[in-house]
Amino acid sequence: MKMDEIITLDYGSGGKKTSRLIEQQILPALGNPALSALGDGALLPGGDRLVFSTDSFVVSPLFFPGGDIGKLSVCGTVNDIAMCGGEPKYLSCAFILEEGFPMENLEKIIASMAGACEKAGVQIVTGDTKVVEKGRGDGLYINTAGIGVLRYPGLSPRNLRPGDAVLISGTMGDHGATVMLARSGMLEGELRSDCACLNHMALDLLDKVPGVRVLRDPTRGGVATTLNEFVEGSELGIELIERALPVRPAVHAACEMLGLDPLYCANEGKLLAVVPEEQTEAALAVLRSHEEGANAVCIGSVTGDFPGRVVMKTPLGGRRILQKLTGAQLPRIC
């Protein structure tokens, strides 16, 4: 499919246009085995083998219930390394500040980053600061990169087998719904982002359930888009059970009001895991033993019936095809 002549917000959604941008523009010019794997991070040779990841954060508003851009930047990078089977160790941090940004807000954000680093057991060891003219930076952007040690190699959607169980560590859409309502000024009640570092839970799962096929944190594009990435171009599909999908009532209400689907809302403190069917209960027990995975459930299974597709079985027995996110459902969400 032909690219547009200009970049639109859709290209940052994590959905179809993001994939097209990577496949048609970036990979042809910069592609190499590490980049072409298109995982959450790159596995690098040398030493004990390293895991490397980078991310940029442009969330609006900068502060939201459950987190802020600083906590988000640490958790997002830590989680990307953990989803590769790596133990995160060191981060870099680059601030792009807008002239006139309140120093008090920067102090709060840095303190939040320090707290997230302490909880995750990582250190920020290098960084950079740039300041742009007033009106050209939207307050603050953050870029982080992370390095970790590969502890559990081989995680990949290519490992999927018919009958495997698809698990999620908790409720869907908390971050996306919270940020959108905070942005609109309509946020009320107990709605909070799920922003959290998942490395301790992920590594515990990989240690105690050696059959884990793949891990992924469903951020931009949500659960539906991430699961599509697992099976696109393969001979396998994934079938979800609608009644099993965990959504908080407040998130469900927010999504109905905003015209959103929790399956496509961003998450910043949840992981998806695919495990052999016989290891389902063991995996759920490990996830539920952690605060971040207390609400873990099985939401579906891998199947050979719908090659390359994600489908959802409704309570009435019908099936709905879930495609990758199309359009910019939630711009500036992370």
In Å, how far from its chain's centre is CA 216? 7
**Interatomic CA distance for residues 98 and 137, integer angstroms:** 5
pTM > 0.85: yes or no: yes
Write b or e for each residue in 47-64: b if 16 or more Cβ atoms lie within 10 A of its Cβ, otherwise e: eeebbbbebebbbeebeb
Which of 114-139 are b and which e, b meaning 16 or more Cβ less than 10 Å from the residue's Cβ? eebbebbebebeeeeeeeeeeeebeb
The reported pLDDT for the residue numbered 272 is 98
| pLDDT number for residue 332 | 72
In this predicted structure, what is the pLDDT of residue 187? 76
Q: What is the pLDDT of residue 229?
A: 95
Q: Print the SS3 string covering the chain.
A: CCCCCCCCHHHHCCCHHHHHHHHHHHHHHHCCHHHHCCCCCEEECCCCCEEEEEEEECCCCCEECCEEHHHHHHHHHHHHHHHCCEEEEEEEEEEEEECCCCHHHHHHHHHHHHHHHHHHCCEEEEEEEEEECCCCCCCEEEEEEEEEEECCCCCCHHHCCCCCEEEECCCCCHHHHHHHHHHHCCCCCCCCCCCCCCHHHHHHHHHHCCCCCEEECCCCCHHHHHHHHHHCCCCCEEEEEHHHCCCCHHHHHHHHHHCCCHHHCCCCCCCEEEECHHHHHHHHHHHHCCHHHCCCEEEEEEECCCCCCEEEECCCCCEEEECCCCCCCCCCCC
Q: Which of 169, 93, 171 is nearest to 125 (CA)?
A: 93
Report the pLDDT value the prediction gives residue 39, as an integer from 0 to 100: 65
- Counting every residue, how long is the chain? 334
pLDDT per residue of the chain (334 residues) written in tens, 0 to 9: 667 778 776 666 556 677 677 677 766 777 676 665 666 678 888 767 899 999 999 999 999 999 999 999 999 999 999 999 999 999 999 999 999 999 999 999 999 999 999 999 999 999 999 999 999 989 999 999 999 999 999 999 999 999 999 999 999 999 999 999 998 877 777 899 999 999 999 999 999 999 999 999 999 899 999 999 999 999 999 999 999 999 999 999 999 988 889 999 999 999 999 999 999 999 999 999 999 999 999 999 999 999 999 999 999 999 999 998 776 555 677 8
Edge-first strand listing for the sheet containing 50-57? 42-44, 50-57, 140-150, 86-98, 123-132
Whole-angstrom Cα Rg for the chain: 19
**Domains of the chain: residue spans and CATH:** 9-28+40-150 (3.30.1330.10), 157-322 (3.90.650.10)
Predicted local distance difference test score (pLDDT) of residue 10: 65
Token readout for 223 is 């659960």
Tokens, residue 272: 């998806």
Q: Are 215 and 82 in contact (CB under 8 A)?
A: yes
Give the integer Cα–Cα distance in Å for 194 and 266. Answer: 10
